[in-house]
Amino acid sequence: MKHTKVKNLLNSETTISEVNAKGWVRTFRNNQFIALNDGSTINNIQCVVDFENTPEETLKRITTGAAISVTGALVESKGAGQKYEIQVAKLEILGDSDAEKFPMQPKKHSLEFLRENAHLRVRTNAFGAIMRVRSVLAFAVHQYFQEKGFVYVNTPVITGADAEGAGEMFQVTSLPLDNLPKNEEGNIDYKKDFFGKHTNLTVSGQLEGETFAMALGQIYTFGPTFRAENSNTSRHLAEFWMIEPEVAFNDLNDNMDLAEDFIQYAIKYTMDKCQDDLKFLESRLAEEDKSKPQAERSEMSLLEKLNFVLENNFKRVSYTEAIDILRDSTPNKKKKFSYIINEWGADLQSEHERYLVEKHFKCPVILFDYPANIKAFYMRLNEDGKTVRAMDILFPGIGEIVGGSQREERYEVLVEKMKALGIDEEELWWYLDTRRFGSAVHSGFGLGFERLVLFVTGMTNIRDVIPFPRTPQNAEF
């Protein structure tokens, strides 16, 4: 008999005389009640075992973590909180799980412990919920752009370009590391390498994406991105997923409109599709909050927070205005920040971003028109000659979730900028071609997918929203 997903059984319109379910035992109470989960939903189905007619040997093997198959009638449940249960007629142990050794005991585990067991943590309620939400969010991304006629582009993972010019790249080589070929100058001879040149893992698909936008009009990428930044924070991964739309003829304002509309759509879509999981995550957070002092508890529940973002426009603020606000908020340089912004031109630290979003505006903020010297080479220089048409979107509890800009479409200005920064024109000849042949105003942005998953799930550490996190000193799985 073909098994039915627990989600479908729980949503059944009628009782059914015979069903089969397969999944993993969460708990087994009183030698009678199995809570069975198959990953299709946060909810377990209760399976009632006829213990008097089940061999003692079999009962002993119904342990947390075991894979089982149950066949029986789907009947109305007398227990609270569930509509149906399975009256087990036939039970089969598919895979035993040693109760003493199985790490995912039915109790609350610390997130640190669960990270060390990333291959098994997905069997817990919280991680099951997070991973289903992540999957739906990813689908929402495609749904949004496909509905709008964007073309999905797969930009290369291995590339010769440093798109961000930040030098945080993982190098890719096929050369023998213990016997590197050297050229006449004594440097590593990358001509002998697989690609005949120095290559790395991509830090962003933007530059390749731009070339496609200048033919297909509107494109998006959605793929893995790699950064060897040695920052061990709760917001950074060495391998993360980025969504990068790029649109020909869009200026910075269009870019802001697109980003805001897209984020709201993805959140709304996921709220509609993941109600049970989000309710579970909400109650998990509320529970966690109870153990915190009053001042640290969140003012809004998870769903209130998500609804707030849907119902309120993002506040658009220029960098210059933001600096004024930050200066005014530190009268006499009181110790509000560990790093005090004194001058126009300074880069904002995450503490400043968080202040603007969480304390000052109390809503998502789009900061735009940053000083040219703290942003990447490809951003469109403003008429003032000192700011660029950059935008960062800052979210409460997260900080930067999006980085984007209107691109410098003027060939001469771009080349000048690259020269000033020592970026090799010859390396990026293909990128410059977009400015030589049919150049036009265009804009795009990158959304860090895990940061969006963080926001939607209410989790606080980015390691907990990606299946197998890659961070400094950690690539165990």
Q: Which one of residues 23, 65, 371, 403 is an interface residue with ligand 4AD (CB under 6 A)?
A: 403
Q: Count residues contacting Mg ion (CB under 5 A)?
A: 1
Min dist. Cβ of residue 229 to ligand 4AD (A): 6
**Contact call for residue 469 and Mg ion (CB under 5 A):** no
Provide the CA 378 distance to its chain's centre, in angstroms.
25
Min dist. Cβ of residue 296 to ligand 4AD (A): 25
**Do the beta carbons of residue 439 and residue 428 sit within 8 Å?**
no
Q: Which one of residues 40, 44, 206, 270 is an interface residue with ligand 4AD (CB under 6 A)?
A: 206
Q: Which one of residues 281, 445, 453, 463 is an interface residue with ligand 4AD (CB under 6 A)?
A: 445
User: Which of 91, 98, 90 is closest to 63 using CA atoms?
Assistant: 98
Q: Which is nearer to ligand 4AD, 105 or 231 (CB)?
A: 231
Give all strands (DSSP E) within 119-187, no chain letters.
Answer: 151-152, 158-159, 171-172
Q: Which one of residues 204, 270, 434, 471 is an interface residue with ligand 4AD (CB under 6 A)?
A: 204
**Contact call for residue 399 and Mg ion (CB under 5 A):** no
User: Which of 356, 350, 347, 327 is closest to 390 using CA atoms?
Assistant: 347
Q: What is the per-residue burial (b if ≥16 Cβ within 10 Å, else e) of 127-139?
A: bbbbbbbbebbbe
364 touches, from Mg ion, ligand 4AD, none (C-beta below 5 to 8 Å by class): none
User: Which of 167, 235, 124 is closest to 471 using CA atoms?
Assistant: 235
Helices (H), 163-251: 206-216
Interacting span for Mg ion (CB under 5 A) from 46-54, 100-108, 181-189, 398-406: 398-406
Question: Which amino acid belongs to residue 273?
Answer: K
446 touches, from Mg ion, ligand 4AD, none (C-beta below 5 to 8 Å by class): ligand 4AD
Q: What is the three-class DSSP state of 304?
A: helix
Min dist. Cβ of residue 142 to Mg ion (A): 23
Helices (H), 383-474: 411-421, 429-436, 449-457
DSSP annotation of 379: B
**Contact call for residue 444 and Mg ion (CB under 5 A):** no
C-alpha span between 366 and 344 (Å, rounded): 18
Min dist. Cβ of residue 467 to ligand 4AD (A): 14
Site for ligand 4AD in 221-240 (CB under 6 A): 227, 229, 236-237, 240
Q: How many Cα neighbours within 13 Å face the side chain of 387?
A: 16
C-alpha span between 321 and 326 (Å, rounded): 9
Site for ligand 4AD in 150-169 (CB under 6 A): 163-164
For residues 291 to 330, the per-residue mask of contacts with ligand 4AD, x marking binding by CB under 6 A and - elsewhere, is ----------------------------------------
Site for ligand 4AD in 405-424 (CB under 6 A): 405
**Contact call for residue 141 and ligand 4AD (CB under 6 A):** no
Site for Mg ion in 403-432 (CB under 5 A): 403
**Do the beta carbons of residue 271 and residue 303 sit within 8 Å?**
yes
Min dist. Cβ of residue 40 to ligand 4AD (A): 29
Q: How many Cα neighbours within 13 Å face the side chain of 454?
A: 23
Q: Give CA separation, 45 vs 3, 10, 239, 263, in Å.
A: 14, 7, 36, 34
96 touches, from ligand 4AD, Mg ion, none (C-beta below 5 to 8 Å by class): none
DSSP annotation of 360: I
**Contact call for residue 85 and ligand 4AD (CB under 6 A):** no
Min dist. Cβ of residue 352 to Mg ion (A): 14
- Which parts of this chain interact with ligand 4AD (CB under 6 A)? 163-164, 204, 206, 227, 229, 236-237, 240, 242, 244, 400-405, 444-446, 448, 450-451
